[in-house]
Amino acid sequence: MIRRIDSAALLVRSVAYGEADVIATFFTRESGKLSAVVRGARKSTKRFGGALEPIHELVVTLEDKGKELCVLKEARIQRPRTGIATNLEAMEAAGQALRWVRHLCPARTPEPAAWRSLEDVLEALDTEGVRSASEARRHLAIFGLRLLTDMGYALELDRCIRCARVCPEGRSAFIDAAGGGIVCTSCGGARRTISGELRVLAARAQRAESVLLSWEIAGEIIEIAEEAMAAHADFDPSLQGRT
Ligand SMILES: [Zn+2]
């Protein structure tokens, strides 16, 4: 049976395939992550125009025969995000956000919360306010925590993940990000420690509250988020900066 999928989508990867084709991986609002053959994509740019670019919100029509790969029938840009395309810091942060989604979201599973968080971070990066690397990094750090929460992997930042003992507010703690949260001293602690300030800010970011993060704290949160993601996906944090 052939199913037709019409959906808002973001391109999360494209790889050359054969002589003229491309395999495009989309994160779609309706059906989650899907990969599709794009026939003739490298021969002629007429058919899909500039629609096979990351960052812009697309509308795609896919033909799904239930096999591993769908076939892309149509694609157009629904919401261009030229602010990101013209800003290197925003571009790098957006690329990282798309990579995280590609690695963390399973195929053919709608993830409405992750879709919203990804749209939010791309919108934030697209605004003219993102003039500095520090601003872009702050948005990315908050997105990392939100994405983990959306996928059911929220970090436990209030109590020890082993014995459930509550860690007093504002106090620094050991954190085992791959294990899912903070670990008390009696339970052996962990390699990494986080400050009381970071613990409070990260907890607020996980609840989708708006927080101001310094350059250092944002960087630390990104490292912690990637450690947590690595435990749940085919994700290698060392892939940072690559496609
Ligand atoms: Zn404990």
- The 10s digit of each residue's pLDDT in 218-234 is 999 999 999 999 998 76
List, for residues 117-141, the tens digit of each pLDDT value. 999 999 999 986 667 888 999 999 9
CATH classification number, 82-239, choose in 1.20.1440.120, 3.40.50.150, 1.10.287.310, 3.40.190.10: 1.20.1440.120
Residues with CB under 5 A from ligand 1 (ion): 160, 162-163, 165, 184, 187
User: Reading across the β-sheet that carries 181-183, which strands appear in turn?
Assistant: 181-183, 173-176, 192-194
CA of 100 to the centre of ligand 1 (A): 30
CA of 104 to the centre of ligand 1 (A): 28
CA of 225 to the centre of ligand 1 (A): 21
Would you say the CATH fold of 82-239 matches that of 3-79? no
Give the number of other CB atoms < 10 A from CB of residue 215: 13
CA of 163 to the centre of ligand 1 (A): 4
Domain 3-79 adopts which CATH fold? OB fold (Dihydrolipoamide Acetyltransferase, E2P) (2.40.50)
CA of 164 to the centre of ligand 1 (A): 6
Give me the interface pTM, i.e. the ipTM: 0.99
Q: Where are the domains of the chain?
A: 3-79, 82-239
pLDDT-based confidence at residue 240 (cuts at 50, 70, 90)? very low
List, for residues 141-172, the tens digit of each pLDDT value. 999 999 999 999 999 999 999 999 999 989 99
CA separation for the pair 243, 239 (Å, rounded): 8
CA of 149 to the centre of ligand 1 (A): 22
